[in-house]
Amino acid sequence: MTHTSNFIQFADKQLDLADVQVMGILNVTPDSFSDGGKFSQIDNALAQVASMIKDGATIIDIGGESTRPGAKDVSLNDELDRVIPIIEAIKQRFDVVISLDTSKSEVMGAGIAAGVGLINDVRALQNDGCLAELANSNLPICLMHMQGMPRTMQANPQYKDVITDIIEFFEQRISACEQVGIAKERLILDPGYGFGKTLEQNYELLARQKELSVLGLPILAGISRKSMIGNLLQRDVSERLAGSLSAAMLATINGAKIIRVHDVKETVDALKVLNATLKHGL
């Protein structure tokens, strides 16, 4: 993985970030799938993964702990029980990059052993043991910016300047990674839409996202169905598709290389239209 190439090695699979990649979201928290035993949950998950791959997702992001505002913490054993069997099942059946959305070093280690290709951490490896765990691997890591912690992050977010503050945060985390031997070239940055940011700050971030290119690393944007869309449009979660597609296109125009979404098929279509246009300038 080098700055001169757009190719990134995700465990045994390589992706070219010259083309925007679509990451499909697979939440395996208890309320994400219908009730029933473990097999029914895994069957549901695998059906969803098959559908997302068919629709054009090249990365599947698996999370066993909700990070929405006000979310409660999940125990280590519960998180392992939720994510590891599904990672193993996906690995057996599909040729796709598996991303593990976690902030626990033990879950990261178990996920790496099970074959994930990307660690996606909303806390940017700030929890105990995470830096050390990933110093021993060669996987790419996505570091996300969040002001505060999930339970309280939306209480009263304050910034001197939203972009400058995010860049400073990333510079500190990149430096912390390099100090333990995690090469900068392994890192992907997520500015953290909706994580400790007001409505106004989120849209300023979207407008100015290109400024993050000063850090020289790929940008992942996750805006799909978030409250920044719901609150602006006064739309329930189930009615945020048009807003999510608009945000995905704007994030791509402003430099994002990976777009994390719930609605894979529609996002892939929207980005094809965008890319066909971008070839002729914008």
pLDDT score recorded for residue 168 = 96
CA gap 94, 49 in Å, rounded: 9
Instruction: Say whether 160 is catalytic.
Output: no
Can you give the pLDDT at residue 152?
A: 62
pLDDT digits (tens, 9 = 90+) for 171-226: 999 999 999 999 999 999 999 999 999 999 999 999 999 999 999 999 999 999 99
Q: Of 282, 194, 206, 201, which is closest to residue 247 (Cα–Cα)? A: 206
CB distance 161 to 81 below 8 Å: no
Q: List the Cα angle 171/137/68 in 5-degree steps.
A: 60
Listed range (36-50, 99-113, 183-197, 225-239) with the worst mean pLDDT? 36-50
pLDDT for the residue 235: 97
Rounded to the nearest 10 degrees, the angle between the axes of helix 264-278 and helix 241-253 is 40
Active site residue 272: no
CA distances, 215 to each of 146, 188, 212 (Å): 17, 10, 6
Report how far Cα 220 is from the mean position of its chain's Cα atoms: 6
Mean pLDDT along residues 53-59: 98
What residue segments make up the domains of the chain, in order of their start?
A: 18-274
Rounded CA separation 159/126 (Å): 20
pTM of the model: 0.93
Of the residues 260, 265, 272, 279, only one is catalytic, namely 260
Q: Catalytic one among 123, 186, 197, 226?
A: 226
Provide the mean pLDDT of the chain: 91
According to CATH, the topology of domain 18-274 is TIM Barrel (3.20.20)
Confidence band (pLDDT; 50, 70, 90) for 111? very high
